[in-house]
Chains A and B, each alone.
Chain A
Amino acid sequence: MTTAITMIQGLKTRLKVGMEIHVELATRTKMWTGAANVAHPDHFGAEPNSLVDPVVIGMPGTLPVMNKAALEMSIKVGMALGCEIARFSKWDRKSYYYPDLPKNYQLSQYDLPICGEGVLEVPISDAADAEIRPVRITRAHLEEDAGKLMHEGPGGRPIDYSIVDLNRAGTPLLEIVTEPDITSAEQAVMFGQTLRNICRFLGVTEGIMQQGHMRFEPNINVIIEKVGQEYATPIVEIKNLNSFRAVRGAIEYEHHRQVEQWLDDGKVLTSGSKSTRGWDDGRMVTVLQREKEEAHDYRYFPDPDLVPVTVDDAWLDRIRIDIPELPQARQARYIEQWGIDPKDARGLIEERDVTLYFEAIIDAGVEPKRAAKVIRNNLAKLANERGVLPCDLGITAEQIAGVEKLLTANTISSNAADSLYALCLDSDDEPAKLAEANGLVQVSDEGALDEWVAAAIEAEPQAAEDVRSGKMAAIGRLVGAVMKLSKGQANPKAVQQKLREKLAQ
């Protein structure tokens, strides 16, 4: 296995990153109660403290009841990551005081998580031929999210106190932990994107990063080689990154900062030397939050209000049936079964919605290789201009099939196809109708075209003479004559071409 070595200040350095990923599960209700879940699309952006009930507020006498759907979603993710699914897991209380945690303990899984070891194979970069490497999954456990503390009043009004919004409190949260197998910021981003895509395929989260549906916490350190000796810098955990730009930026920044810090103070990794930093998105730097892993004692103990979870084969089988074909499997199938270009195949599985769109286009009758090219070429251009995904352009799979049909039948030119796709952006009409209405249909009857052209030259001798002598502006008059004769059915482009040919003789 080759290792990514980066030279910094003349030193050979290797980056070592492990990730903790928090995934908010999009169940209908919260983890322990029937209150609505803010991570479910029906409740995005709900009014503060509107998704609460006595359990969420941690009122006296309230009790948690496990949301089975959340557990099943977690098992699905575990299965997709090849994790061992625990047949027996339990719930523990993690104690700490904070106003966004009404019970002052978080219900989590301490030593018996629902998902054990697994692995996710991820390309190390987005290059077409990038090497695929495994990132080992340590575990994944289910817990409840906390609420949010806000330090500004509504509309940004300054306040000298804090406000608590408990909408997010009790949202099911799957925490996935990896081994430190990631060796570059690029690979970390690829890992994050792959994981997000899998989770979206599984239907366990909407994966909207800005809404915090997935939050990344890389644990970073650097191995520095100096005169045959290796030095490991202390581990830094970056909290709460909710964009891939931040993941990349924070890791790249830390890589350099840690080398410089080591040159400055020579401090190396020792137990308990982990510090915590935050990411300043504006300045693109990490900022120290906590110097030492404080002597945090969470006083974990099994929650006596909940019963342990036992999972049997029959249940696992029922869950497994619900798992759709995952992106990597589709990618392989596209290449093997349909002969799609590997680079296209990878591009097609990067976003769930694009993948599903691609398959819908094939279902609508388009030959797979063509479908891939339409998305990767024709639509990608339009999508980039508009800053959306190809599937979100508003062009239906049926419309694409219609365009392709016209193209295959030589009814339109490939140039006309691009124009036709552009027309489909704003119209639900069938492409054949659009092509006709917009004069994109090629005239196949060469004889008819020749006749009209000859008649037009005869009717407009002066204009014909002007064109012959190089006054090209006069050609418009001749084209107009042809269009009149053909009652608008001639392709003006083709007519112009024909006129040029004739008058150049």
Chain B
Amino acid sequence: MNMDITQSTMIELRDAIAAKQVTAHEVTEAYLQRIAALNDSLGAYTQVFAERALQRADEVDAGKVTGALAGVPIAIKDNLCTTFGRTTCSSKILEKFESPYDATAVRRLEAAGAVILGKTNLDEFAMGSSTENSAFAPTRNPWDTTRVPGGSSGGSAAAVAAGLCAAALGSDTGGSIRQPAALCGIVGLKPTYGLVSRLGLVAYASSLDQIGPMTRSVSDAALLLDVIAGHDPLDSTSADDDARGEGVDYLDTLGQPVDKLRIGLAKQYISDANDPQVNAAIDAAVAQLREFGAEIVEVDLPHTEYGIATYYIVATAEASSNLARFDGVHYGHRTDKPEDLIDLYAASRAEGFGDEVKRRIMLGTYTLSSGYYDAYYLRALKVRRLIKQDFDQAFTQCDAILCPPTTHPAFAFGDKTDNPLAMYLNDVYTVNCNLAGIPGLAIPAGFADVDDHRLPIGLQLLGPTFSEARLFQIAAALIGDQPAPLADYRLPG
């Protein structure tokens, strides 16, 4: 074996396995070893399926399992239902929950031959921006273990950035793929709403949730999306296959020139409140795109500032309803010796949910209550439409919008846990994409120096619905297809 397995991209591994330069077993074994060495201090995985993964790898080596991802080791966020292991959402209320069915995205991964290594940590029920809300343990940023990896897909982001998997699935409701991808220096895509089936994704906010790829290279993200995207008759909000364009292969556009493209810049995303190094990354990307011959245009997204307020009304309203089913009656945590039915509900939920989940359930319950519905929920839906119209208008002038995914690089543990609003403002550059249902792609854009630490920063590309191929094309032009560097994380001592 003459390749450094855990340094390789997903596609490199797949090709090497297909060419029998390395066995799927060796590949899986290499990742399992690295997980064994690093996961305890990073907390990226909450479950590792070593035996099952090796078994799957052996099936690939035996030629029993084939496909576009044959033998590729992948991690999945633990809010995706799997018939193997548990599906916990990093919540006590589902700590022991075993799903009787697999999420469509998981089924598609396995049908393509992927080897699922384990399930990754998240903010409880995907509610958070730092993975500090996990009921089990926080995940650490592999670039600086005193800092958060972002969230809620922090476990997936850390696993990819630290080389504990070749790629991962995350979910993104208001930035939960793109923000941790940016803070961990990897590629992360929130697809167009409806492109990837939500069946088996434990719902946080149904009208915003999307599953997406988290990888080290643009082409890996394109391939992973290709595998998981597509109509699912069991998800009523799943887009028809012709919506994404006939015969679109997300890998096809990579490497195509961008000289005919118009790239939009919105003043609402370039703020003095951003870390100067974040703004500098945008400037550098603009210069580069100009050099490639792309046209840079100014666009206006006037309702941007209402995004956070709108998001936290829509998302929490849906969450309050989606999480009502966790009541201790049919499955999940049930309190000991309830006095009566009301106590069974109240105590099971009080014991099972963490503070942030409770906070959002209460917010959502309030905004849906009679007398408040019109002032909050209904108004939020109207503003949501205005935000969507902003983008529709902007995309008549440009093919994609370039903006930062976060205002700053990764922050330290505990920085924002006492101030929920400061935590919510983290999502300022990501939530509008979900509200509008459009795709957003975060890509690595080098490093910022913060307190003698090299911390990744990212870029974000937003496009019209079903423009994923275009976003990959621009991303590949900007960062090439070199894999993002693995975090130079070393075991303490």
Contact = CB atoms under 8 A, between A and B. Distances in A.
* Chain B binds chain A: yes
Interface of A: 54, 57-66, 93, 95, 97, 99, 102-105, 164, 297, 299, 301, 304-307
B168 to A, nearest CB: 18
Contacts of A305: 203, 206, 236-237
A210 B368 CA distance: 38
B101 A54 contact: yes
B330 A57 contact: yes
Nearest to B87: A60
B100 A59 contact: yes
A29 B341 CA distance: 31
A58 B99 contact: no
B325 A307 contact: no
A104 B318 CA distance: 13
8 contacts: A59-B331, A60-B326, A63-B234, A99-B341, A299-B320, A299-B368, A299-B373, A307-B237
Contacts of A64: 236
B325 A104 contact: yes
Contact of A60 (B94, B206, B345, B377): B94
A371 B139 CA distance: 82
A306 B198 CA distance: 12
Given A305-B236, A307-B237, A60 B207 contact: no
A63 B370 contact: no
A304 B207 contact: yes
B196 interface: no
B200 A61 contact: yes
B81 interface: yes
A120 to B, nearest CB: 32
Given A54-B100, A59-B99, A102 B325 contact: yes
Given A95-B368, A299-B373, A307-B237, 8 more contacts: A61-B87, A61-B201, A63-B199, A97-B324, A102-B325, A164-B329, A164-B330, A301-B368
B317 interface: yes
A97 B203 contact: no
Contacts of A105: 321, 324
Contacts of B97: 60
A65 B234 CA distance: 6
Nearest to B232: A63
B329 A60 contact: no
B414 interface: no
A28 B60 CA distance: 41
Interface in B184-206: 198-203, 205-206
Given A61-B99, A63-B199, A95 B331 contact: no
Interface in B79-111: 80-81, 87, 89, 94, 97, 99-101, 103
Interface of B: 80-81, 87, 89, 94, 97, 99-101, 103, 198-203, 205-207, 233-237, 317-318, 320-321, 324-327, 329-331, 341, 345, 365, 368-370, 373, 377
Contact of B203 (A54, A57, A61, A102): A61
A60 B236 contact: no
Contacts of B87: 60-61
Contacts of B94: 60
Contacts of B370: 297, 299
A84 B345 CA distance: 41
A297 B321 CA distance: 13
Contact of A93 (B200, B235, B321, B365): B321
A60 B330 contact: no
A61 B203 CA distance: 6
Contacts of B81: 60-61
Contacts of A301: 317, 321, 368, 373, 377
Contacts of B199: 61-63
A60 B100 CA distance: 10
Contacts of B236: 63-66, 305-307
Given A93-B321, A105-B324, A299 B341 contact: no
Contacts of A59: 99-101, 330-331
Contacts of B327: 97, 104
A151 to B, nearest CB: 12
Contact of B202 (A60, A65, A297): A60
B126 to A, nearest CB: 12
Contacts of A104: 324-325, 327
Nearest to B103: A61
Contacts of B318: 304
B211 to A, nearest CB: 11
B172 to A, nearest CB: 16
Nearest to B344: A99
Contacts of B237: 304-307
Contacts of A63: 198-199, 234-236
B85 to A, nearest CB: 14
A161 to B, nearest CB: 10
B170 to A, nearest CB: 15
A95 B324 contact: yes
Which 9 residue pairs of A and B lie closest in terms of their CB atoms, listed nearest first? A104-B324, A304-B207, A304-B206, A299-B368, A60-B202, A61-B200, A61-B81, A58-B325, A103-B325
Contacts of B373: 299, 301
A57 B99 CA distance: 12
Contacts of B207: 304
Nearest to A296: B370
Nearest to A55: B234
Contacts of A61: 80-81, 87, 99, 101, 103, 198-203
Contacts of A58: 325, 330
A102 B324 CA distance: 9
A58 B97 CA distance: 14
Contacts of B326: 60
Contacts of A103: 324-325
Nearest to B342: A97
A433 to B, nearest CB: 58
B233 A65 contact: yes
A299 B202 contact: no
Nearest to A33: B234
Contact of B369 (A54, A99, A297): A297
B207 to A, nearest CB: 4
Contacts of A54: 99-101
A104 B345 CA distance: 11
Given A61-B200, A305-B206, A95 B234 contact: no
A60 to B, nearest CB: 4
Nearest to A306: B236
Given A61-B81, A61-B202, A105-B324, A299 B330 contact: no
A60 B368 contact: no
B90 to A, nearest CB: 13
A91 to B, nearest CB: 9
Contacts of B89: 60
Contacts of B341: 99
Nearest to B203: A61
A164 to B, nearest CB: 7
Contacts of B324: 95, 97, 103-105
A152 B317 CA distance: 37
A306 B321 CA distance: 14
Contacts of B235: 63, 65
B448 to A, nearest CB: 37
A58 B345 CA distance: 16
A311 to B, nearest CB: 16
Nearest to B317: A301
A105 B200 CA distance: 19
A97 B345 CA distance: 9
Contacts of B203: 60-61, 305
A179 B108 CA distance: 52
A320 to B, nearest CB: 26
Contacts of B368: 95, 299, 301
Contacts of A97: 324, 327, 345
Contacts of A60: 81, 87, 89, 94, 97, 99, 202-203, 325-326
B4 to A, nearest CB: 37
B331 A57 contact: yes
